Amino acid sequence: MNNKKQLERVSFEALPTEVEKQQIFKEHYLDLAAQLGNGARPVQRTLKELYPVDHPCHLFIPHLNTLQKHIKKDKEDKHFNIEKSKKNKPQLYAYLRQLQKLNTAIFSKENQDLNKIPLTNLFVKHAEICLYSFNDPLGEKVDLLAQWCVIREYYSRARLDNAFTDDLDAILDHTPWLDVEYDPTQTLYALAVKKNPKDLVPRIGYAMVEGKLVDGRFVGKIDDKAWQICVYYQLRLPYHIVFINRYEIKTTYRALSHVNTIMSAPIPTPEQREKFGLRSPEEYRRINIAKGMIASHLKDQ
């Protein structure tokens, strides 16, 4: 793997706000520091090589003192020894074993960072909280990959000192995956989101992609069977998918400017499913996305 890999520019520029760009860039340089295994100066030097003055990302390179502080804090999050939880917290042990299989399958791919494979103390902290909410260590009610996405989002925000988690908290507080007798658009969770969509529409990074709505149908870089879509059905959220909508507008001086917004695609109606050949919500929920990803990894070894 090339340790000096740039951020994928189109995906980075598709992020809706400067705050989100800062957070993704911070995650990028923390990952770079872990890969290089060096202090702040070599990391800053590498960032300046990757992103010269004329590059849009150059503005996000932090001051050396800030970089030192962030790298030092990140290094304090050590790898978690799963075997130590076997005796004291056997249910957590079983859960962590499953999450570790997923982490390995996801981050063992050619374009991923191998340093992310071991679970860390910070990740495990949020995994334990989510275990008490989902109460489903084997993924019998909610596929483990959907649970992993929620845990990973909590972990990623904590790692970047982003304290805002209202959208994630709403999922755990209202447990929409248990409302099996209700229309997902009429649950307590859905009602809460309708009251405050700005804060509560979920931004689950690993389950978000770039796309657009065409005649009410989501069209993006993934197909209709993609695991990202399955995550929303597994959690019984009132969406087909939440995505980044990226479009261009002309400014006063006729120059093109990129505008990025977070949008959600509604659950297709039976008529839309028949027209476009889409699966039903129950068919999406029956897809074992975690086991499929782990099996794919084992086949590739």
Say what the pTM is.
0.84
Instruction: Evaluate whether residue 260 is within a structural domain.
Output: yes
Number of domains in the chain: 3
Write down which residue in 75, 91, 106 finishes a domain: 75
Tokens of 118: 């071991």
DSSP state of 89: -
281 with 184: CB under 8 angstroms?
yes
pLDDT, position 225: 87
pLDDT of residue 14 exceeding 80, the answer is: no
Q: Could you report how far apart the first and last alpha carbons of the chain are, in Å?
A: 17
Query: Do the Cβ atoms of 193 and 238 come closer than 8 Å?
Result: yes
- Token pair for 43: 């990391």
CA distance 206 to 231: 10
Q: Could you tell me if 49 and 88 lie in one domain?
A: no
Q: Of all residues in the chain, what percent carry a pLDDT higher than 70?
A: 94
Where is the domain boundary, 133, 168, 203? Answer: 168
Domain membership of residue 160 as a residue range: 82-168
Q: Could you tell me if residue 239 is inside a domain?
A: yes
Give residue-wise pLDDT tens across range 18-74: 888 888 899 899 989 888 877 899 999 999 999 999 898 999 999 999 999 999 888
Whether 68 and 91 share a structural domain: no
Q: Higher confidence at residue 255 or residue 248?
A: 248
- 9/296: higher pLDDT: 296
In a domain, 223, yes or no: yes
Please indicate, yes or no, whether residues 294 and 192 belong to a single structural domain of this protein.
yes
Of 55-64, 249-258, 259-268, least confident by mean pLDDT is 249-258
Phi first, then psi, for residue 273 (nearest 5°) are -65, -40
Euclidean distance between CA atoms 265 and 89, whole angstroms: 40
